[in-house]
A and B are shown apart, each in its own frame.
Chain A
């Protein structure tokens, strides 16, 4: 404990300055990460509230709690908030922002002021979208399909589209900052082959943010212009092609799935190797698989449009390309498993979440392969099967990884340990609650239950009740960490610099780190994840 007491007396990024201004005008990547953490947590609960309303409505077959119009708005706003305002910024903007400069031994990101600007842009976009939602909402589905969104919907499409448009630029700036930082700010000796896999996967996600986000920005801008000024680009009455909208939308929004999952995969790589006490199996393959996913991810968008009227030959090509994405994803899963093989596994909370991730992501990924095959897709398109599939990837995959990462780096972020027992319980609740919520939806979808309806035949009730019950367990699983993380800020045990005995530069500075991160620029002379040669219980230098 002697070291811990010493750590707390040090000046760090949390106690170096107090007052609102020192937070709102900070350029410290760690403080900006905290600003993001608070904002996206608020968005998560708003999106979660909409989800609970959906599950409540679906408890009984008739549409009795909300009208069908309200229901349309509920699932639309749930999707928009969770995708654009929670999942996309979650791991990159919070965890990536905090740990990437630490991992590469840098003082900050390459453009600290641009980083702060990206948070303000995020807030401007989120406030615009929320304002439009509060004053009337939007009912187009998060996909904004034309011509409904441009011509027929009587809801606040423009406001929400502008909100997403604005937020897109915060994502672009974060991605740009990561790419430049990882290229130019690495500590001496930290070569690309020694780069932590979390940086690799965030780099890959940043590439998608930089190349994909502008396309959705211009697409949503066209939708807004079409509504506001009658510009007729997607209007079928003028000979416009609504399918073109779907092409442009999915050109970003499919790669966006990988913006969401890639950083999560990076978190899992860090945790699996640390709690198995073994070097990542096939480091190069895991690193390059991230890049392969980013590249292939741009070539598969039309698998969302198999029944929308694209030619059968185009569909065949896109189906084949979609199968290809499964290869680098599977490479990662196999390598994580191989890393654990003969490792000395510890069952701490981050590792429990990581186990959950691997299992649920595998289910989500494999059902994605079902959906990539043309014949099955025709049968299950727009059913709950699709809903279950992407929730297994997004929630079972990404949110699990986000929770894993928060627990893993919480001692570094806050300088305090969270209560391990409660945390293990929450990991268990999330896993059980998640499966109870979404596994029945696979069955429902396969039986033909269409998504996006607020009423359904009585035969589907048992599975829907199970799903709603699971959702309430899941909610408890998410409320718990919120409570004990806040509790730990004050009452948690003081964290040593390296509570997990992990390798990686971020563990070689104090917890919480000083504002300038490192007293001296570290020089890296060892390979990544060198757990086999790590001296027992002594990896910290300095302090």
Chain B
């Protein structure tokens, strides 16, 4: 049993490695365009609602805590506590998606979605930039956060599945592999956001320079 758990955990780590490469392609693209069009990226990032982003970061960190405690509860044989903690994790996850939805709505209203209706006014007292370059910033913003949100949706589904199994007392200290590997996945998705937040929201408060 222990060997099976180690095998499953090893498999999950390998999968997370592929996820790193998956997001890695996007981060690499981000890196290239940020260095090419730094000023446009600064101006794009100033359209972000930093407070909502920071709140969401806090929400996700709390969800990781409840997830970690949930795994611990499964490990120490407290199935009721585990179910409660996992439900809290789901709530945090849904909260994150809700706040993200508000932000998406704002960007949509302000024509900050790439395509024909994209519109971007260069801010006052700032160096003139090509609005097209901020469109690349917003393309990457939507692609990266959208893909992250999709991972959140999948994660919430997986935790919900654990809750259902947990209600049927499927896990015990001798078998809680699924809880552990879903936990790994959840922390990974959290970690991606920890990088996305500063890269997209906090590029610079100042204009110019490098």
Asked whether A and B interact, the reply is yes
Provide the bound-state CA to CA distance between A211 and B142, in Å. 24
In the complex, chain A residues 212-254 whose Cβ is within 8 Å of any chain B Cβ: 212-215, 217-219, 222, 225-226, 229-233, 237-241, 244, 248, 251
Contacts of B142 in A (CB 8 A): 229, 231
Q: Is the interface of B mostly helix, strand, loop or mixed?
A: helix
Tally of contact residues, B, Cβ under 8 A: 36
Task: Mark the stretch among A45-53, A176-184, A186-194, A195-203 that contacts chain B.
Answer: A176-184
Q: Does A340 contact B (CB under 8 A)?
A: no
A-B contacts, 10 listed (Cβ < 8 Å) = A179-B14, A184-B10, A212-B21, A214-B22, A215-B24, A218-B25, A233-B29, A238-B133, A239-B37, A239-B130
Number of interface residues of A (CB under 8 A): 36
Least distance between B117 CB and chain A CB atoms (Å): 9
User: A495 an interface residue at 8 Å Cβ cutoff?
Assistant: no
B140 touches A184 (CB 8 A): no
| Alpha-carbon distance between A528 and B133 when the two chains are bound, in angstroms | 59
Query: Given the complex, which residues of B lie within 8 Å of A229, measured CB to CB?
Result: 114-115, 142
Complex Cα–Cα for A229 and B20 (A): 25
State in angstroms the CA–CA spacing of A244 and B29 once bound together.
Answer: 7
**B133 contacts which of A172, A239, A244, A248 (Cβ < 8 Å)?**
A239
| B99 shortest CB reach to chain A, Å | 22
- Measured in the bound complex, the distance between the Cα atoms of B140 and A225 in whole Å is 11
Given A233-B140, A238-B135, CB of A180 within 8 Å of CB of B11: yes
Measured CB to CB, the residues of A under 8 A from B are 110-111, 114, 172, 176-177, 179-180, 183-185, 210-215, 217-219, 222, 225-226, 229-233, 237-241, 244, 248, 251
Chain B residue contacts of A183, Cβ below 8 A: 10
Shortest Cβ distance from A209 into B: residue: B18
Across the interface, do B114 and A230 meet the contact criterion of CB distance under 8 Å? Answer: yes
Take A110-B11, A184-B6 as given contacts and tell me if A215 and B36 are in contact as well, using a CB distance cutoff of 8 Å: no
- B165 interface residue (CB < 8 Å to A): no
B139 lies within 8 A of A233 (CB) = yes
Residues of B within 8 A of A185 (CB): 7
Interfacial chain A residues near B18, Cβ < 8 Å: 172, 176, 210-211, 213-214
The reply to whether B14 and A218 form a contact with Cβ atoms under 8 Å apart is no
Q: Which residues of A contact B132 (CB under 8 A)?
A: 232, 237-239
A151 → B minimal CB distance (Å): 13
Are A210 and B14 closer than 8 Å at their CB atoms? yes
Chain B residues with Cβ below 8 Å from A251 are: 25
| B→A interface (CB under 8 Å) | 3, 6-8, 10-11, 14-15, 17-26, 28-29, 32-33, 36-37, 114-116, 130, 132-133, 135-136, 139-140, 142-143
Query: What residues of chain B lie closer than 8 Å to A226, measured between beta carbons?
Result: 139
> When the two chains form their complex, are residues B143 and A215 in contact, meaning their CB atoms are under 8 A apart?
no
- Complex contacts, A219 vs chain B, CB 8 Å: 25
Measured between C-beta atoms, what is the minimum distance from A161 to chain B in Å? 14
Task: Please determine whether A214 and B25 come into contact, CB atoms closer than 8 angstroms.
Answer: yes
Contact indicator A233/B21 (Cβ below 8 Å): no
Which residues of B sit under 8 angstroms from A240, Cβ to Cβ? 33, 136
Q: Take A215-B22, A248-B25 as given contacts and tell me if A233 and B136 are in contact as well, using a CB distance cutoff of 8 Å.
A: yes
Given A172-B18, A176-B18, A241-B32, answer yes or no on A218-B11 (Cβ-Cβ < 8 Å): no
**Cβ B17 vs Cβ A211 within 8 A:** yes
Question: How far is A239 from B134 in the complex, measured between Cα atoms in Å?
Answer: 10
Question: Which residue of the partner chain, among A111, A180, A215, A232, contacts B21 with CB atoms under 8 Å?
Answer: A215
Hey, which chain B residues are within 8 Å of A237, CB to CB?
Answer: 132
Q: A225-B143, A229-B114, A241-B36 are in contact. Are A176 and B23 (CB under 8 A)?
A: no
B8, B28, B115, B143: which contacts A230 (Cβ < 8 A)?
B115
Q: Tell me the smallest distance from the CB of A211 to a CB of chain B, in Å.
A: 5
A180 engages B10 (CB within 8 Å): yes
- B7 pairs with A110, CB closer than 8 A: yes
